[in-house]
A and B are shown apart, each in its own frame.
Chain A
Amino acid sequence: MHRRVLRYLAILIVTGFCATTAQALRPKDGRDTITEGHRIYDRACVWCHGTEGKGDGPSGWSIGRYAAPRPRDFTAESYKLRSTPSGELPTDQDLFRTITQGIPGFMPSYRSLNEQERWQVIAYLKSLNPAFEQEQPTPMVLPSPPLFPSGNGITNGRALYAKYECRTCHGDNGAGDGPESKAGHLRDAYNLPITATDLTDPSSFKNGATPHDLYRSIMTGLDGTPMPAYADQFAGQEEAAWDLVWYLQSLSGQPGR
């Protein structure tokens, strides 16, 4: 038990340190920052996302031609990877996280850019969509995993997996082979066929595979895909949501609760 507590404390300290450092290196928003971000974008992002940010770069054209996901259209499209409620824009921290971590199987990590450069790119990406000037994305309250999880976490989580019909898309055993996925019924915002995530393979999780990442994906959903947000269903039942997270982790043989 003590080891677990220490582990969480260490995660909190490291996360806090990283966030603080990243913020400290963040340049002021403004024309110069956007211009510099544009310059970096033309070097690092344009191949997939296109010269105007519409997701139609030379490589992106073929990536999203016949199956999802198509490279993001920064001018109008929704964002899948967010900490905000369904339908909302992502926060700057969400964009920073995605650029830093990449999207397994689809987008590389851009840790090769220093943090200031990543913030400059974010300023440029936001300038492509006027909605960022009109809306104030507010992150949901996404708590850290409980220090003392309930003893029946996986059992409860399995029941919730059935109750919330996760199996319909992700399959009985979480392999992404649910009836809707197998039948090819799942479509993204461009009506391109999309398959459900294989929950037994955490390395393929687009939104990250830590317990916190899973919790965030469940609560916010992945806009532009059939994956809905469950925040309203779990309102006031935070522990139940964590139980579902423990069950999802157990599908890939990760340590259970």
Chain B
Amino acid sequence: MKPILLTVTLCVMLGPSALLRAESPMSTLVGRITYPGPIESGQVVAVTRDSSFCGTTTAIHTVTVNAKTRGLQGAVVSIDDNTVPAADFPRRPLVLTNTRCAFSPRIVAGEVGQQLEIRNDDPVMHNTHISMGPRTFVNVAMIPASRPVEKPLKQPGIYLVQCDAHKFMRATMVAFTHPFFSVTDDTGAFQIAQLTPGEHLVTVWHDTLGTFQQRVTIPARGEVTITIEYPAHVDANKK
């Protein structure tokens, strides 16, 4: 097939929007958040109910660092000054699961307007109690094998997630007014797509370590890779 004919065929097949997307100068930021501090073993607390399933003790990890990559798990990376309309941004389902007497993931991030789906995979009852300051976002009973509960995110901010039945169960939910955020995985890696070229302010937030910001220059097209080391002196209470 001749090149021109191939191009025309592709134009007809993909449509003009695909070509526009291909032409639009947007980039992806990929990277890793590392933490130079000590790797903690977790605070061991006693489990006072449902011990036959939850165990008699559990370890609470507030700072989880990958020994191989030094990557910090559960850091929320966001770019708040991106200007691209995000209507067609691929959004991941927002799911918070009670599993093995813990919340998974321990850090969950979503966009205002998204539905949060709460699940219970455990054979014991939990209640999922999410609040921001004195305002309850939701407090629902989750009996074993119950159907998922859905709740739309309405307000941006940082929410505390807890189970009143199992006090050691804690998590954090962060809600944004845009989709340009990512939560680092167990190697500390993250990825944020559809960024406009130019200088952006990257904000990294961790529920124990606090906030850290760094400027990054995004090229016209393609992918830029960065590594941000979380300074050990960051104020833990700074949001």
Contacts of B164 in A (CB 8 A): 180, 185-187, 226, 228
Contacts of A77 in B (CB 8 A): 134-135
The contact of A76 among B49, B130, B133, B137, by CB within 8 Å, is B133
- Given contacts A180-B165, A185-B167, whether A232 and B140 have CB atoms under 8 Å apart is yes
Contacts of B149 in A (CB 8 A): 232
Indicate if A164 sits at the interface (CB-CB under 8 A). yes
A78 x B134 contact (CB < 8 A):
yes
Indicate if B60 sits at the interface (CB-CB under 8 A). no
The total of interchain contacts (Cβ-Cβ below 8 angstroms) comes to: 82
**In angstroms, how far is the closest chain B Cβ from the Cβ of A156?**
16
Distance, CA A60 to CA B59, complexed state (A): 39
* Chain A interface extent, by class: 20 to 34
The contact of A190 among B125, B128, B134, by CB within 8 Å, is B134
Most chain B C-beta atoms within 10 Å of own C-beta, residue among A76, A78, A232: A232
Residue-wise interface mask of B (126-165) relative to A, using a CB-CB cutoff of 8 A (1 in contact, 0 not) = 0111110111111111010011010100100000000011
Residue-wise interface mask of A (119-148) relative to B, using a CB-CB cutoff of 8 A (1 in contact, 0 not) = 000000000000000010000000000000
The contact of B139 among A76, A179, A183, A229, by CB within 8 Å, is A229
Indicate if B208 sits at the interface (CB-CB under 8 A). no
Distance, CA A85 to CA B164, complexed state (A): 19
Indicate if B48 sits at the interface (CB-CB under 8 A). yes
Indicate if A165 sits at the interface (CB-CB under 8 A). yes
* Minimal Cβ-Cβ distance residue in B for A187: B164
* Chain B interface extent, by class: 20 to 34
Contacts of B147 in A (CB 8 A): 232, 235
Distance, CA A8 to CA B177, complexed state (A): 48
A221 x B125 contact (CB < 8 A):
no
- Given contacts A76-B133, A78-B135, A135-B154, whether A221 and B165 have CB atoms under 8 Å apart is no
The contact of A87 among B49, B134, B151, B167, by CB within 8 Å, is B151
**In angstroms, how far is the closest chain B Cβ from the Cβ of A162?**
11
B138 x A189 contact (CB < 8 A):
no
Q: Which of A45-76 contact B (CB under 8 A)?
A: 73, 76
The contact of B49 among A73, A179, A189, A231, by CB within 8 Å, is A179
Indicate if A230 sits at the interface (CB-CB under 8 A). yes
Distance, CA A230 to CA B146, complexed state (A): 11
B136 x A164 contact (CB < 8 A):
no
Distance, CA A156 to CA B208, complexed state (A): 46
Indicate if A163 sits at the interface (CB-CB under 8 A). yes
Contacts of A86 in B (CB 8 A): 136, 138-140
**In angstroms, how far is the closest chain B Cβ from the Cβ of A125?**
15
- Given contacts A87-B151, A189-B131, A226-B127, whether A164 and B143 have CB atoms under 8 Å apart is yes
Indicate if A112 sits at the interface (CB-CB under 8 A). no
20 new A-B contacts at CB < 8 Å, known A86-B138, A168-B165, A180-B49: A78-B131, A85-B138, A86-B139, A87-B138, A164-B143, A165-B165, A183-B48, A185-B164, A190-B134, A221-B141, A223-B139, A224-B134, A226-B129, A226-B164, A228-B129, A228-B141, A229-B138, A229-B141, A233-B143, A233-B146
Between-chain CB contacts (< 8 Å), 5 pairs: A78-B134, A87-B139, A229-B140, A232-B147, A233-B143
